[in-house]
Amino acid sequence: MTLAAHTLLESRDCPVFRIAANETNKFVMLVDPLIEQTGFIQVLEIFDVGGFTPPNQHRAAEEVFVVLYGNGQVTLGSATLAIQPGSVLLLRPGHSHAVRNLGATRLYCLTTMVPDEDFAKLITSGVPDVLDEQDLAALGWAR
């Protein structure tokens, strides 16, 4: 099977999921390795006000968060660091981390993980969601 040389998508038209209905963050699937057959995943991760990821670590994956909008904090073991627009956080395998939205608005992060470590499967087996007008305005993607 030959893969296409490129894929061009409109971010605002990509599928959106929450891992579970009661989760406080949603994911826009920008590069889905299950569809594109890549060795990495890239999502736009949107944290509701007060939203967070539970502490987690990756066996072999490196993960990068680029903060696009909003303010929060990341906990790395016993250290806590502030993150804001323009922050770039590189996480190495085997180290516990958690991200929390501390701002009065949603927190938007471009998140890439290499290799995927079944993250795409976890996300896409969740609950479909949508980008609302607040998301589209914050990202400059208004229709």
CATH 2.60.120.10, applies to 15-139: yes
- What are 66-87's pLDDT values in tens digits? 999 999 999 998 999 999 999 9
Q: What is the mean pLDDT of the chain?
A: 94
- What are 2-23's pLDDT values in tens digits? 778 888 888 888 999 999 999 9
Whole-angstrom distance, CA of residue 69 vs CA of residue 139: 8
pTM for this prediction: 0.94
- What are 38-59's pLDDT values in tens digits? 999 999 999 999 999 999 999 9
Amino acid, single-letter form, for residue 59: R
Contact 16, 128 (CB under 8 A): yes
